[in-house]
Structure 1
Amino acid sequence: MNNNTSTPTSNLFSPLRLRDLELPNRIVISPMCTYSADEGIASDWHFAHLAKFALGGAGTIFVEATAVDPDGGLSCGDLGLWSDSHVAPLKRITDFIKACNSVPAIQLGHAGRKASSQRPWIGNGALTEKDAEYGDKPWQTVSAGTVPVNESWPAPQQLTLERMEAMRTSWRLAVDRAIDAGFEIVEVHMAHGYLLHQFLSTVTNNRVDGYGGSLKSRMRYPLEIAKIVRDTWPQDRPVFVRISAVDEGWSIEDSIALACELKSIGIDVVDCSTGGLGRSPQALRVSRGYGFQVPFAEKIKKEADVLTMAVGLILDPELANDIVALGRSDLVAVGRGVLEDPNWPLRARRVLNPEASAFAGWPKQYGSWLEQRERVLEKIRADDQASTTLS
Structure 2
Amino acid sequence: MKIVCIGGGPAGLYFGLLMKQLNPAHQVRVIERNKPYDTFGWGVVFSDATMDNMRLWDRTSADQIQAAFNHWDDIELLFKGRRIRSGGHGFVGIGRKKLLNILQARCEALGVELVFEQDVSSDEDFSDADLVIASDGINSRIRSKYADVFQPDIVTRPNRYIWLGTKRLYDAFTFDFQQTEHGWFQAHIYKFDEHTSTFIVECPEHVWLAHGLDKADQDQSIAFCEQLFAGNLAGEKLMTNARHLRGSAWLNFQRVTCGQWWLQNRHGSHVVLMGDAVHTAHFAIGSGTKLAIEDAIELTRQFQLHGDAPEHIPTVLAAYQELRRVETLRLQNAAWNAMEWFEVCGTRYCDQLPPEQFMYSMLTRSQRISHENLRLRDAAWLQGYERWFAERAGLPQPAALPPTPPMFTPYTVRGVTLKNRVVVSPMAQYSATDGVPGDYHLVHLGARAMGGAAMVFAEMTCTSPDARITPGCPGLWTDEQGAAWTRIVDWVHANTDARMAVQLGHAGAKGSTRRAWDGIDQPLADDDTEPNWPLLSASPQQYLPGTSQVSRAMTEADMDRVLADFVAATQRAADAGFDWLELHCAHGYLLSSFISTLTNQRTDAYGGSLANRLRYPLRVFNAVRAAWPAERPMSVRISAHDWVEGGITPADAVEIARAFKAAGADLIDCSSGQVSKAEKPVYGRMFQTPFADRVRQEAGIATIAVGAISEADHVNSIIAAGRADLCAVARPHLANPAWTLTEAARIGYTPQPWPKQYRSAKGQLEAGFARQAAQAKASA
- TM-score for both structures, normalised by structure 1: 0.89
Matches within 5 A, 1:4-83: 9-83=404-478
Q: 1:6 to 1:104 in 2, by over 3 A?
A: farther
Q: Which has the higher strand share?
A: 2
Q: CA deviation at 1:214?
A: 1.3
2:587 to 192, 205, 219: 192
Q: 1:123 to 1:11 in 2, by over 3 A?
A: same
Q: CA deviation at 1:377?
A: 8.6
The total of aligned residue pairs comes to 366
Provide the rounded CA distance (Å) in 1 between the counterparts of 2:426 and 2:651.
Answer: 26
Q: CA deviation at 1:199?
A: 0.4
Matches within 5 A, 1:272-311: 272-278=670-676, 280=677, 283-311=678-706
| Greater relative contact order structure (CA < 8 Å, 6+ sep) | 1
Provide the rounded CA distance (Å) in 2 between the counterparts of 1:151 and 1:355.
Answer: 53
Aligned to 1:362: 754
Provide the rounded CA distance (Å) in 1 between the counterparts of 2:522 and 2:766.
Answer: 55
Q: 1:11 to 1:203 in 2, by over 3 A?
A: same
2:723 to 305, 313, 328: 328
The code of the aligned residue for 2:541 comes to V
Residue 198 of structure 1: SS of its match in structure 2? Answer: helix
Residue 517 of structure 2: SS of its match in structure 1? Answer: coil
Aligned to 1:389: none
Query: Does 1:108 find its partner at 2:500?
Result: no
- Residue 35 of structure 1 contacts residue 76 of structure 1 at CA under 8 Å; is this kept in 2? yes
Aligned to 1:346: 741
Matches within 5 A, 1:118-137: 118-128=514-524, 130=525, 132=527, 135-137=529-531
- Residue 103 of structure 1 contacts residue 184 of structure 1 at CA under 8 Å; is this kept in 2? yes
Aligned to 1:138: 532
Q: CA deviation at 1:125?
A: 3.5
- Residue 127 of structure 1 contacts residue 136 of structure 1 at CA under 8 Å; is this kept in 2? no
Q: Deviations over 1:24-67 (max 9, x none)?
A: 11101000111111110001111111111011011010000011
Residue 470 of structure 2: SS of its match in structure 1? Answer: coil
Q: Deviations over 1:338-365 (max 9, x none)?
A: 111111100122234x2625xx421111
Q: CA deviation at 1:132?
A: 2.6
Residue 516 of structure 2: SS of its match in structure 1? Answer: coil
- Residue 67 of structure 1 contacts residue 79 of structure 1 at CA under 8 Å; is this kept in 2? yes
Residue 309 of structure 1: SS of its match in structure 2? Answer: strand
User: Which one has the largest radius of gyration?
Assistant: 2
Q: CA deviation at 1:228?
A: 1.1
Aligned to 1:388: none
Provide the rounded CA distance (Å) in 2 between the counterparts of 1:126 and 1:140.
Answer: 15
Q: CA deviation at 1:151?
A: 2.2
Residue 259 of structure 1: SS of its match in structure 2? Answer: helix
Q: Which has the higher mean CA deviation after the structures are superposed, 174-183 or 251-260?
A: 251-260
Provide the rounded CA distance (Å) in 2 between the counterparts of 1:81 and 1:201.
Answer: 26
Provide the rounded CA distance (Å) in 1 between the counterparts of 2:396 and 2:444.
Answer: 27
Q: 1:377 to 1:263 in 2, by over 3 A?
A: closer
Q: Deviations over 1:288-325 (max 9, x none)?
A: 11100000000010000000000001011111111001
Q: CA RMSD in A?
A: 2.0
1:316 to 680, 690, 711: 711
Provide the rounded CA distance (Å) in 2 between the counterparts of 1:91 and 1:195.
Answer: 26
Q: 1:376 to 1:22 in 2, by over 3 A?
A: closer
- Residue 754 of structure 2 contacts residue 762 of structure 2 at CA under 8 Å; is this kept in 1? no
Provide the rounded CA distance (Å) in 2 between the counterparts of 1:198 and 1:76.
Answer: 21
Q: 1:16 to 1:191 in 2, by over 3 A?
A: same
Provide the rounded CA distance (Å) in 2 between the counterparts of 1:265 and 1:131.
Answer: 40
- Residue 245 of structure 1 contacts residue 252 of structure 1 at CA under 8 Å; is this kept in 2? yes
Matches within 5 A, 1:164-183: 164-183=559-578
Provide the rounded CA distance (Å) in 2 between the counterparts of 1:266 and 1:179.
Answer: 17
Residue 408 of structure 2: SS of its match in structure 1? Answer: coil
The code of the aligned residue for 2:755 comes to P
- Residue 309 of structure 1 contacts residue 330 of structure 1 at CA under 8 Å; is this kept in 2? yes
Q: CA deviation at 1:263?
A: 0.7
1:256 to 627, 641, 654: 654
Q: CA deviation at 1:374?
A: 7.1
- Residue 6 of structure 1 contacts residue 361 of structure 1 at CA under 8 Å; is this kept in 2? no
Aligned to 1:387: none
The code of the aligned residue for 1:212 comes to G
Residue 540 of structure 2: SS of its match in structure 1? Answer: coil
Aligned to 1:384: none
The code of the aligned residue for 1:273 comes to S
Matches within 5 A, 1:147-226: 147-149=541-543, 150-226=545-621
1:267 to 659, 665, 670: 665
In the alignment, structure 2 segments of 5+ residues that lack a partner are 1-394, 398-402, 772-780
Q: CA deviation at 1:154?
A: 2.2
The code of the aligned residue for 1:184 comes to D
- Residue 634 of structure 2 contacts residue 665 of structure 2 at CA under 8 Å; is this kept in 1? yes
Residue 277 of structure 1: SS of its match in structure 2? Answer: coil
Q: Which has the higher mean CA deviation after the structures are superposed, 70-79 or 207-216?
A: 207-216
In the alignment, structure 1 segments of 5+ residues that lack a partner are 382-391
Q: 1:343 to 1:6 in 2, by over 3 A?
A: farther
- Residue 66 of structure 1 contacts residue 79 of structure 1 at CA under 8 Å; is this kept in 2? yes
Provide the rounded CA distance (Å) in 1 between the counterparts of 2:469 and 2:604.
Answer: 27
1:243 to 638, 657, 661: 638
Q: Which has the higher mean CA deviation after the structures are superposed, 179-188 or 141-150?
A: 141-150
Q: 1:173 to 1:194 in 2, by over 3 A?
A: same
Provide the rounded CA distance (Å) in 1 between the counterparts of 2:614 and 2:768.
Answer: 59
Provide the rounded CA distance (Å) in 2 between the counterparts of 1:131 and 1:178.
Answer: 31
